[in-house]
Amino acid sequence: MEEGGRIIVVSNRGPVTFSRGESGEREHSRGAGGLVTALNAVVRRAENAVWIASAQSEEDLAVAKEPAPYEVEDLRIRLVEHDPKSYDLMYNVLANPLLWFVQHGLYDLPYSPALGEETRRAWEEGYVPVNRNFAEAVVETAAGEESPTVLLHDYQLYMAPLFVRERLGGDVFISLFVHIPWPEPDLWRVLPGYVREGVLESLLAADVVAFHTRRYARAFAETAAAVLGAEVGDGVVRYRGREVWVREYPISIDPEEFEELAGSEAVLEQEKYVKGLPGKLLLRVDRTDLSKNVVRGFAAYGRMLERHPEMKGEVTFLAQLQPSRTDVPEYAEYMEAVGRTAEEVNERHGTDSWRPVELFMEDNFPRSVAAYKNFDVLLVNAVRDGMNLVAKESAVINEKNGVLVLSENAGAHEELGEHALTVNPFDVDEQADAIHAALTMPEAERERRAKALRDTVKSNTIEDWVEAQIEDIESYRERHG
Amino acid sequence: MEEGGRIIVVSNRGPVTFSRGESGEREHSRGAGGLVTALNAVVRRAENAVWIASAQSEEDLAVAKEPAPYEVEDLRIRLVEHDPKSYDLMYNVLANPLLWFVQHGLYDLPYSPALGEETRRAWEEGYVPVNRNFAEAVVETAAGEESPTVLLHDYQLYMAPLFVRERLGGDVFISLFVHIPWPEPDLWRVLPGYVREGVLESLLAADVVAFHTRRYARAFAETAAAVLGAEVGDGVVRYRGREVWVREYPISIDPEEFEELAGSEAVLEQEKYVKGLPGKLLLRVDRTDLSKNVVRGFAAYGRMLERHPEMKGEVTFLAQLQPSRTDVPEYAEYMEAVGRTAEEVNERHGTDSWRPVELFMEDNFPRSVAAYKNFDVLLVNAVRDGMNLVAKESAVINEKNGVLVLSENAGAHEELGEHALTVNPFDVDEQADAIHAALTMPEAERERRAKALRDTVKSNTIEDWVEAQIEDIESYRERHG
């Protein structure tokens, strides 16, 4: 980043959360999760970068009121205070049900969504003002900087490119990275007019709009053409006299982080449990999201056991599910269906000495990592998934030449598909066949595939992900002055 | 059709159904419905055309066994006998839930479909053999003909182009007309691999693949590119060395037929009832299909009455719903939701002298036509709809300068949208606003819009629809010899 000015990273969730310790002093805990790890890599790469995020805790609000940026560890952080009602409308009405559901194709369209006043209010009084707050924080952070670089992240911030552009003009470089799938135009059109057009107008005020896969990038360009009449070229959308680059940068992981984790005490402790499970280990690790396709996964496993009774007792399906949005009725219902389906498989096929499914709906990352090391087959059968980092994380530390059964609708499929067993997430039988094929695959083939998976992940780490974006920022700047 | 040989029209349902009268003689009744009317126009236009369709009734089976074609009225008909189990699998497993749901976007994807053995069996033992039967009937009918022209219709016959091509080679002209929406690639990919690829391979064995709108034609070309890697140009798909034209011919109606109907005794009788309803007339006429969006329509009407209490007693919503697929659980559930929502509106807003919604779930075409003549506002708010002929039929005979509120996802929107009030079918508030705007629109604007709708429909009648296709067949033949 020799040429551009200060880097400003913006995401809804920040890298740390502040609190007060028992004796009253300020404490902080670092966040986990793929996006935070990735953005840490961006911030580490740049001199003097500032990370802007929403204040979440009470102590975060205190930090938000102090002079920014606030320095902690190696980070410069600016926290943004939102009106709690606005934030709630943005998060719990507009971003998480509406945009998430549309972009993952989760709605039961004959019945829902039923858009109305509540949607409009969530947009006008929630999403828009929260995005204006972020833009304001960017403007303040950029004050006095020449040619700042603003890297906005994800679907909570779709309106920020426009608001930043309005305030800072053409000198600022703006990108927005969409970390979830981008749907095709017909699905995008489910959104009310003011959202579907508003978001696109804003994204096309950025210089780069980035995605994890070619498929999402192409769908975005097609959506811009279909909804706004934008002109679409190869990796470029032209709109209102501006040229916007539409790019894919498949997000990745830090292999060393997982190699270290793999040897940690907490993981070694959990490995005792994992290694004690009878038979081969079939694994899934997911949030309990409707997009993850847990129900069909259990159904497929049950069907495999029906078709291949010789597999009974020879395999255990460990499902590590991290509860998510449990207060949302659709999610509560889904978790019930998940539990019910697992129980059906256990009742139907289990014996006194063997439980076919071991289901945990709880947060236990060390056990997940222990299972990463030991699975024979990993099932990633998402209905739709922006990337799916579990497939990548586990590939670098698995010690069993584990086979990946991978949904064609997971973003990871563009990179890993050729070394995995590809499944259509809606086809239960195909998944049953793939699970069986994976469990019975000859060792030589397992080894070849596992190595290819590992090499592929290691050839595009999170550092490469950052580098590719920075190169494009420099090219864009060179080309557009 | 000076140059091409005999025209062979193929559709699952034929123009007549045969039965035995009380005294034992063969009788027949003509079918109704937009597709049959349209294909009648095709057959009328051509010399000596033969219409192939599935035998449906017991007497149809007798006709199927007699030497073909069977001549009745001005038609030459060949009926095809299918194995009842095969037909059931084709119709009730593959075509009507699976293809219909995928192409209209009706699945609740986190839960359904759960594809499996039943799907494969329905494909292999139902859809494929039924399509082979149709192809066989085409081959027999074409025997001895030079350069026959085979016009296949709709989603029950997707495999027929391939089977006919295999038997008759390059001399035969084959088109397949898809009368329902074509989905974008991500949605098409819900289908199991053997269906999604099998159907596309077959359609690209035709010379022309036809749709009602540009949007469907474009989505088809994109699907062929995404799934088969076909090369896509302007209105052309190239695949395996062949050039396939992808065209849109918006289907229409016979205005004279509706003008005549409008004066018929049965309609005049029903008009008494329709004219007796209090206030302005808001109308919908649909099959009770999940794609028609009846529930949100009632919800929007209820919201309009809430926001504009001055409209109470000033309007009646007449909903004429023809029961459809009532034995399918999803449909039965939907009809319940429809009834419940109508009742809620009536309970909430009705008075002793005024019932806001008059809901009929029964077949009464004369009453629908009577309502066509008399509506002030017609609501067509489909989630997705191939064309929607109600919008066209009613435009030519409405006597009240009725306003059309039209879903942007109805095929008719490409032609009629600019003269209608466009709505997003998922946005209940937008529909409430549009209904109110339509009910209170100044007379001059109503008149201008109604005239434009009528003129648009009359400028592209069913005759024009046939003509456009025949011109393209001739051009295609000239170009490809």
3-state secondary structure A401-453: CCEEEEECCECCHHHHHHHCEEECCCEHHHHHHHHHHHHCCCHHHHHHHHHHH
Contact: A110, B430; criterion CB under 8 Å: no
What CA–CA distance (Å, rounded) separates B283 from B267? 16
Q: In this complex, which of A303, A334, A432 lies closest to B110 when CB atoms are compared?
A: A334
Query: Are B429 and A120 inside 8 Å of each other by CB?
Result: yes
The pLDDT value given to residue A2: 44
Residue-level pLDDT at B4: 59
**Candidate from B109, B119, B428 with C-beta closest to A383:** B109
Token couple for B119: 């799907």
pLDDT at B480: 87
Strands across the sheet containing A208-211 = A70-72, A75-80, A50-54, A7-11, A149-153, A173-177, A208-211, A242-248, A236-239, A231-233
For B368, list phi and psi in degrees, rounded to 5: -60, -45
Looking at domain A255-459, its CATH class is alpha beta
pLDDT reported for residue B68: 84
CB contact under 8 A, B115 and A293: no
- Alpha-carbon span A223 to A190, nearest angstrom: 12
A334 and B108 in contact by Cβ < 8 A?
A: no
Contact A114 B184 (CB under 8 A): no
pLDDT of residue B41: 85
pLDDT at B431: 98
Q: Does B232 touch chain A (CB under 8 A)?
A: no
Residues of B in contact with A120 (CB under 8 A): 429
pLDDT in tens, A152-162: 999 999 999 99
Please answer yes or no on whether B108 and A113 come within 8 Å at the CB atom: no
- For A103, name the nearest residue in chain B, comparing CA atoms only: B186
Residue B48: predicted pLDDT: 87
pLDDT(A32) > 80: no
Mean pLDDT calculated for residue range B226-247: 97
pLDDT at A34: 79
What are residue B48's phi and psi, to 5 degrees? 70, 15
pLDDT tens digits, A239-281: 999 999 999 999 999 999 999 999 999 999 999 999 999 999 9
B385: left (phi over 0), alpha (psi -120 to 50) or beta: beta
Residues of chain A neighbouring B106 (CB-CB closer than 8 A): 109-110
Identify the bridge partners of residue B214 per DSSP, sorted by sequence position.
Answer: none
Residue A437 has pLDDT above 50, yes or no: yes
A149: CB partners within 8 A, 6+ apart: A1, A4, A5, A6, A7, A8, A172, A173, A473
What is the least distance, in Å, from the CA of B340 to any CA of chain A?
A: 13
The architecture that CATH gives domain B256-459 is 3-Layer(aba) Sandwich (3.40)
B201 token code pair: 């391979």
Which residue of chain A comes nearest to B214, CA vs CA? A226
Domains B7-252+463-480 and B256-459 agree in fold? yes
Residue at token pair 């992900």: A465
Contacts of B192 in chain A (CB under 8 A): 424, 426-427, 430
Residues of chain B positioned with their CB less than 8 A from the CB of A183: 186
For A426, name the nearest residue in chain B, comparing CA atoms only: B114
pLDDT at B204: 98
Please list the alpha-helical segments (H only) found in B107-236: 117-122, 128-142, 160-168, 185-188, 193-203, 214-223
User: Which residue in chain A has the smallest CA separation from B109?
Assistant: A106
Nearest chain A CA: its distance from B195 CA (Å): 12
CB contact under 8 A, B383 and A120: no
pLDDT reported for residue B47:
80
pLDDT of residue B2: 44
Contact criterion met (CB < 8 Å) for B426 and A185: no
Question: Sheet containing B315-322: which strands, arranged edge to edge?
Answer: B357-361, B315-322, B280-287, B377-380, B403-407, B421-423
Cβ distance of B110 and A303 shorter than 8 Å: no
Residue of B nearest to A115 (CA): B427
pLDDT at A28 (0 to 100) = 94
Residue B477: pLDDT band (50, 70, 90) is very high
Taking the C-alpha atoms of residue B383 and residue B467, their distance in angstroms, rounded to an integer, is 30
Closest CA to A165 of A204, A130, A199, A198: A204
**What pLDDT score was predicted for residue B412?**
98
- Does an H or E element contain A320, and which? strand A315-322
Domain boundaries, given as residue ranges, for chain B: 7-252+463-480, 256-459
β-bridge mates for residue A423, sequence order: A407
Check CB contact under 8 Å for B427 and A115.
Answer: yes
What's the N-to-C CA distance of chain B in angstroms? 15
Chain A neighbors of B407, CB-CB under 8 A: none
Q: How high is the ipTM of this complex? A: 0.95
Could A189 and B428 be called an inter-chain contact, meaning their C-beta atoms sit closer than 8 Å? no
Give the residue-averaged pLDDT of B221-236.
97
- pLDDT for residue A30 is more than 90: no
Name the pLDDT band for B7 (thresholds 50, 70, 90): very high
**Cross-strand bridge partners of residue A422:** A406
Which of A109, A189, A431 to probe by mutation at the B interface, max B CB count within 10 Å? Answer: A109
Q: Average pLDDT, stretch B131-142? A: 97
Q: Which residues of A touch B219 (CB under 8 A)?
A: 186
Mean pLDDT of A6-21: 95
Q: Is the pLDDT of residue B1 over 50?
A: no
pLDDT digits (tens, 9 = 90+) for B356-370: 999 999 999 999 999
Q: Would you state the pLDDT for residue B63?
A: 96
- Nearest CB among A106, A222, A299 relative to B109 is that of A106
Q: How far apart are CA A92 and CA B427, in angstroms?
A: 19
B-chain residues near A295 (CB < 8 A): 110-111
Residue contact A192–B409, C-beta within 8 A: no
B194 vs A: CB within 8 A: no
For B29-50, write each residue's pLDDT tens digit.
988 777 888 888 888 888 889 9
Q: Is the CB of residue A124 less than 8 Å away from at least one CB of chain B?
A: no
Q: Is the pLDDT of residue A145 over 70?
A: yes
pLDDT computed for residue A41 by the predictor:
85
Mean per-residue pLDDT of chain B: 96
Fold of the domain built from segment(s) A7-252+463-480 = Rossmann fold (3.40.50)
Q: Are B115 and A427 within 8 A, CB to CB?
A: yes
Name the residue facing A109 among B106, B192, B222 (closest C-beta).
Answer: B106
- What is the arithmetic mean of pLDDT over A62-89? 95
Inter-chain residue contact A426 with B114, CB threshold 8 Å: yes
* Enclosing H/E stretch for A219: helix A214-228
Judge whether A383 is closer than 8 Å to chain B, CB to CB. Answer: yes
Search chain B and give the residue with CA nearest A292. B110
pLDDT band at residue A4 under the 50/70/90 scheme: low
Interface check B13 vs A, CB under 8 A: no
Q: Are B372 and B261 in contact (CB under 8 A)?
A: no
**A329 in contact with B, Cβ within 8 Å:** no
- Structure tokens that stand for A359 in this block: 């289901």
Q: What average pLDDT does range B409-428 have in this prediction?
A: 98
